[in-house]
Structure 1
Amino acid sequence: MPGGGGEVGWQYLQRQDAHSTSVNSSLLLTNNLLGQSDLSYEDFTPIAMLLTEWIAWATASNADVQDADELITKLQDDPESLIFGLSPALGSGYHLSTSQIAMLSGVEPRDLQVLVYDSGGEAMNALLGGHIDILVNSMSVLSSQYEAGEIDIHAVTSPERLELFPDVPTWQELGVDIEFPHWRGVMGPPDMSEEEIAQYDEWFGEMAESEQWQRDLESNMFFDFYMDSAETKDFLEEQNELFNDIIESVGLMP
């Protein structure tokens, strides 16, 4: 059920019973923190965390840039010296991860020059056309142009190097202590019983261990991020606190 960054579907889920679930993402948290929705993660029952993408910074291959350290140095010298491109909005995971990297590197995130595009494809065209200096997107979106030699990927927000991209360092390797997943999970309507939650834990736990699920992740360039209902509840609380701090730091708090 499309619409409103998930809002329409989530409003529908609130009125259903435990036979209905919904995929969620960081939008569930950021929409609320940005004042775009009255719904928060606390209005639903956390069921599972399933998968993640990892976020990276990329430049055009013909750019006069050697590595991520050089990009950070330029931003430290002048935060307005580089133009970022991302989608689909300020306050998105791509924007928040970039802001956190800036903060951890001693750069004022409010000073960053950010252009927002409707889609990752538009942002990629802007990068290749020389309209922006750095594209922030998931590795799955960047992979085709990277493999074609059109872009360079300088660092990724995963805790370890990705097997599919062994030459791309993590930000942690470069001294920036960030781990920023671009996750997807599952939630149910409010007030589910312990028995209903336990049943979903069993179902999703079995699915996450299946060979078919692992093949599906690999074919879509997603990464396993499974957590059960209790772990998901704790994770959402941590993410909400982190996002709140970043949104406040970049001046987007309503």
Structure 2
Amino acid sequence: MVLVGCGNDDGEKADKASPSEASLTSETSSDSDDAAAWAPSQNVEFIVTSSAGGGSDIFSRTITDIMTKEGLCSETFLVNNKTDGNGEVGRYQVANTKGDKADHTLLSMNSGDCMDMLSNTDNRLENFKTLALMAVDKQLVFVTPDGKYENFNQIIDTVQSGKEVIVGGSKGSDVATFEALLKELNVDGDLLKYIAYDSTSEAITAILGNHIDMVIAKPAASKQYVESESLIPILALSDERFDGNLGEAPTLSELGDYADVQVPVWRSVVAPGEMSDEAAAYWSEALKKVSESDGWISGYLEKNALIGDYMSFEETTAYLEAFQEDYLKTLEE
């Protein structure tokens, strides 16, 4: 658990299923009025259901750091990594938090977390208040300089020749991305095998230890390893190349007669369903200010090759409800 101090009360306050611009303007004004009527009065627990150093951890700590520097709350954040049960213990804790504590509890949730929750438990988004969608992430495939492979074409050739290649990655969206890649390549899953780790950082540790042949990872968790030349990007799981030192990785369509494979990862902040409307408005407004800050735009989005895609309380609720409905239908197929 990490403590992050917030500023004092005198500090400066810093596509799918979206409502109309007019309704958003009205809703933002209403949210601002509600937010002015409530402020935190105790420590704020920010729960992260993956290990330290992974994409969700970096996402959450960036938010708390910016809220601290911008003076957006009057209390202290307690960043708590709860990975037990594939993260489900932490999500159940938040879903069942009640009373005043509910107003002071936040949870990072991405599309992979949501997929895991919907697939493996009876916990649903109705048990949470969805405060804001903050960004969209995509993945790449990496190898190490001393590994077996130098490029992704070599991996394709190896699998097509009947030899095994082991892939590592995180849960949820990484698994979905791998399955989409497997389908597009039309190769046997017994040959291109996937190992799911609790976080991207654990998967990267595995490839650095030569336990797997390649890793699926997001820019936020992998960029430092690319800068130190410990990882080499060999495939962009996107419909276009990334920028900067990730730009050498081609998309799948550049390698042959394939369609590009991508499963964008949305990143959001949610809260207990019992959180009061006043507290939800406060946090939604604070997250909006985070999304507009230089620390978020240049210090997080641009640095980690993410796409800024802020959605407000009502927009996020509608978007995630649609995501849940669509994903549950796929589980019935």
1:205 is the counterpart of 2:294:
no
Structure 2 residues without counterparts, runs of 5 or longer: 1-79
Q: Name which one, 1 or 2, has greater alpha-carbon Rg.
A: 2
Q: Which residue of 176, 180, 200 maps to 2:259?
A: 176
Q: What residue in structure 2 maps to residue 252 of structure 1?
A: none
Partner SS for 1:103: helix
Partner SS for 1:107: coil
Q: How does 1:82-101 map to 2 (within 5 A)?
A: 82-87=165-170, 91-101=171-181
- How much does 1:217 deviate? 1.0
Q: What residue in structure 2 maps to residue 186 of structure 1?
A: 269
What is the identity, as a one-letter code, of the residue corresponding to 2:287?
Answer: F
- How much does 1:116 deviate? 4.3
1:7 is the counterpart of 2:89:
yes
TM-score, L = length of structure 1: 0.72
- How much does 1:200 deviate? 5.1
Task: Name the CA distance, whole Å, in 1 between partners of 2:136 and 2:231.
Answer: 23
What is the identity, as a one-letter code, of the residue corresponding to 2:220?
Answer: S
> 1:168 and 1:237, CA in 2 relative to 1: closer, same or farther beyond 3 A?
farther
Percent identity between the two aligned chains: 23
Task: Name the CA distance, whole Å, in 1 between partners of 2:230 and 2:260.
Answer: 28
Q: Which residue of 96, 109, 131 maps to 2:211?
A: 131
Q: What residue in structure 1 maps to residue 28 of structure 2?
A: none
1:26 is the counterpart of 2:26:
no
- Contact kept, 8 Å, 2:164 with 2:190, in 1: the verdict is no
- Contact kept, 8 Å, 1:2 with 1:9, in 2: the verdict is no
1:102 is the counterpart of 2:182:
yes
Task: Name the CA distance, whole Å, in 2 between partners of 1:143 and 1:38.
Answer: 35
Task: Name the CA distance, whole Å, in 1 between partners of 2:332 and 2:185.
Answer: 17
- Contact kept, 8 Å, 2:166 with 2:194, in 1: the verdict is yes
Which deviates the most, 63-72 or 193-202? 193-202
Q: What residue in structure 1 maps to residue 300 of structure 2?
A: 217
TM-score, L = length of structure 2: 0.58
Q: How does 1:62-73 map to 2 (within 5 A)?
A: 62-63=146-147, 65-73=149-157
Task: Name the CA distance, whole Å, in 1 between partners of 2:332 and 2:187.
Answer: 15
- Contact kept, 8 Å, 1:99 with 1:246, in 2: the verdict is no
> 1:199 and 1:69, CA in 2 relative to 1: closer, same or farther beyond 3 A?
same
Q: What residue in structure 2 maps to residue 236 of structure 1?
A: 320
- How much does 1:192 deviate? 7.0
- Contact kept, 8 Å, 2:103 with 2:275, in 1: the verdict is no
Partner SS for 1:71: helix
Larger relative contact order (C-alpha < 8 A, sep ≥ 6)? Answer: 1
